[in-house]
Amino acid sequence: MTIRPIIRYPDRRLAMPARPVTAFDDGLRELAADLLDTMRAAPGIGITAPHIGVPLRLVVLELDAREGPLTYVNPIIEWTSPEMILHREGSVSMPGVNDEVQRHARVRISYQDLDGNVRSEETDGLRAVCHQHEIDQLDGMFWIQRLSRLKRERLVKKFEKMARNA
């Protein structure tokens, strides 16, 4: 298990759709373990393989220490509720900035586990927000694209200023 370098916005790789995982082997398990270590070190509550420059559809979440980490391979959103919620979001690839994003209140996803078994899950609240946020990233949509142009430009300027002063 290794902490890997996280690519930073505006790296082009964050805008590229990730490829489906086809090999459910020790390499995939090692990548998932590295993602977990990298996410914890960032710190964050969710991370995708594209965040570390690996263009595969793999997500690791850790929203609750008691429940532990959750791994999703090839996740897709199957259903979204008509109800919407606002939730403050950020990214390990753009640390130090966040804003409220409108998301569906509930979602149902299908995915595979690390052994390739097909599963589905219906969630609400923070987990539903995280599923949408991370699946967007797998599809090449960075979270700030969900904001108005004015808010997005403000956040980018703030991030650039923070990076210059670091």
What residues act catalytically? 134
Closest CA to 85 of 70, 63, 100: 100
Encode the chain in three state secondary structure: CCCCCCCCCCCHHHHCCCECCCCCCHHHHHHHHHHHHHHHHCCCCEEEHHHHCCCECEEEECCCCCCCCEEEEEEEEEEECCCEEEEEECCCCCCCCCEEEEEECEEEEEEECCCCCEEEEEEEHHHHHHHHHHHHHHCCCCHHHHCCHHHHHHHHHHHHHHHHHC
Phi then psi for residue 27, to 5 deg, are -65, -40
